[in-house]
Structure 1
């Protein structure tokens, strides 16, 4: 893993991140556009973490903290780099960020039909919270 670099995203990374998500992420989000990612990077410059290997983007995670809860979104690893510790390194960096901010528990949004992602989250120590369902309303 010595060749893996975890760093925060900048405005210059937005287009590459959007391209990466189209290839490596499961599903799409209402915020998967230039404005949505730019707003995230401006509001919380430490939240969008990138994993690079030899200068190539191989993974992402959004580690958002609202002062109350620690939220994880868009954990994605390029298919050619999966099962090589990229997700583990990204989650470790996210969890260190949360701990430094005083966060107490991380939560992740995982698609119900994405069995490989569910296995990865489980392997990282996360458990499905059966008592909750997500409610949404587009604004």
Structure 2
């Protein structure tokens, strides 16, 4: 893993990140567009974490902090690079970011149908909270 580099993504990375998610991320999101990701990076320049190996984008996670809670989105590892510790390295970097910001608890958006992701999140020490149900409303509806 010494050749793995994790860094914050910036405006110049947006097209590559969006193309990467089409290959590596399970499912799509209404916010997977250039404007949405650009707003994220403009508002919180350290939130989009990218994992690179040999200059190639191999993983992402969004580590958002709203001043109260820590939120994880879009943990994705390229299919050709899975099971090599990249997801864990991204989560470690996100948790270090949260700790530096004073965050005390991380929550993750994980699709119910993504069993592979459930395994990865459990391995990283995360667990579902059955007493909570996520309710959503698209704001552009």
Q: Please, what TM-score do these two structures have when normalized by structure 1?
A: 0.99
Q: Write the distance in 1 (CA, Å) between the matches of 2:137 and 2:112.
A: 19
Describe how 1:15-54 pairs up with structure 2 within 5 A: 15-54=15-54
- Quote the residue 1:111 is aligned against: 111
Q: Write the distance in 1 (CA, Å) between the matches of 2:132 and 2:30.
A: 22
How many angstroms does 1:137 deviate by? 1.0
Describe how 1:51-90 pairs up with structure 2 within 5 A: 51-90=51-90
Q: Write the distance in 1 (CA, Å) between the matches of 2:31 and 2:121.
A: 22
Q: Which runs of 5+ in 1 are unaligned?
A: none
Q: Please, what TM-score do these two structures have when normalized by structure 2?
A: 0.98
- Quote the residue 1:124 is aligned against: 124
Q: Write the distance in 1 (CA, Å) between the matches of 2:77 and 2:25.
A: 7
- Quote the residue 2:14 is aligned against: 14
> RMSD value over aligned CA atoms?
0.4
- Quote the residue 2:93 is aligned against: 93
**SS of 2:61 mapped into structure 1:** strand
Count of residues in correspondence between the two structures: 139
How many angstroms does 1:138 deviate by? 1.3
Q: Which runs of 5+ in 2 are unaligned?
A: none
